[in-house]
Amino acid sequence: MSEKDDKPLDEDAEIYELIKHALSDNITNQKEFKKRSELKSVLRGIISEYLDSFIVIGYDFDGKEIEFEGARSAQQRDALDTLFLRYFCYKTGYKPPNHE
């Protein structure tokens, strides 16, 4: 094998190690939140640095549901609702009446 053929394997190993380190760091540095509103507030702040509007749906480490959205205007909230409905229609195959 040439040095060029070995390079992707080295890059894959490096990416693997970075992901492994990030995941282990996340678990060992897991912060405890006393209130769910505190968790939502922290997550909303972090996510809003990268996204203008968003919906988060998932589970925390204890298996409890967590859901919240971030939008600055009524227009953004409406756009999120529309996107959310479209997403679930696509996933379930449902087609609203009078829509092709």
Q: Which tens digit of pLDDT belongs to each residue from 29-48? A: 566 777 878 888 888 888 88
What does the pLDDT read at residue 78?
95
Phi, psi for 69 (deg, rounded to 5): -135, 160
pLDDT at residue 6 in the model: 47
To which residue do tokens 């996340």 refer?
26
The answer to whether 38 touches 30, Cβ cutoff 8 Å, is no
Q: Within the chain, which residues score under 50 in pLDDT?
A: 1-7
> In terms of Cα–Cα distance, which of 40, 39, 34 is closest to 54?
40
8 A C-beta contact, residue 81 and residue 55:
no
Alpha helices in 1-100 (DSSP H): 3-28, 36-48, 74-92
User: Can you give the pLDDT at residue 2?
Assistant: 47
Q: What tokens does 37 get?
A: 């509103």
Cβ within 8 Å of residue 60, ≥6 positions away? 39, 66
